[in-house]
Amino acid sequence: MKAVLSIAAGLILSFSLASCERDDPDPVAGKGGNAILKVTPQHHGKNIDSCTIYIKYNAQDKPATFDDSVKCVMEGGKPVATFSGLKKGKYYLFGFGWDPSIGMNVKGGAPYTITQESTQSYNLAVTED
């Protein structure tokens, strides 16, 4: 009788564990996906065309080093830095450039999360250096 109860308890435990839902692990950001991120730097709402955008994979805070960088080019009448082939995940973006209207360098950064592998646009706020 004890053997039957032990086997029954083991089966119940096995079915219980098998039916539990497991959370998907956090996606690992970086190259190898289908997402395209188009970043436009803005200073007080005005597009900054002389800017380089830096990106760090798997980060939400400003890092000491970056994984990649792209200079802004005019696209559809506005400056855009395009990062392609990205996977879902967390990124940190940082821009450094020149605002001719004030004659000063501008810089700024922010975290960005890609939740689906599609083309996404983001306005990155920068401020006086």
Q: What is the pLDDT of residues 19-57, one digit of tens each?
A: 555 555 778 999 999 999 999 999 999 999 999 999 999
Q: Which pair of structure tokens corresponds to residue 110?
A: 């922010």
The structure's pTM equals 0.80
Cβ atoms of 67 and 57 within 8 Å: the answer is yes
In whole angstroms, give the CA distance from residue 81 to residue 69.
9
8 A C-beta contact, residue 129 and residue 109: no
Q: Report all structural domains of the chain as residue ranges with CATH numbers, in order of start.
A: 31-128 (2.60.40.10)
Q: What percent of the chain has pLDDT over 90?
A: 78
Q: State the pLDDT at residue 2.
A: 56
Q: How far apart are CA 46 and CA 44, in angstroms?
A: 6
**pLDDT at residue number 129:** 80
Tell whether the model's pLDDT for residue 66 goes beyond 60.
Answer: yes
Task: Look at residue 26 in the predicted model and tell me its pLDDT.
Answer: 77
CA proximity to 129, closest of 97, 99, 107: 107
Average pLDDT, the chain: 88
Number of helices (H), then strands (E), in the chain: 1, 10
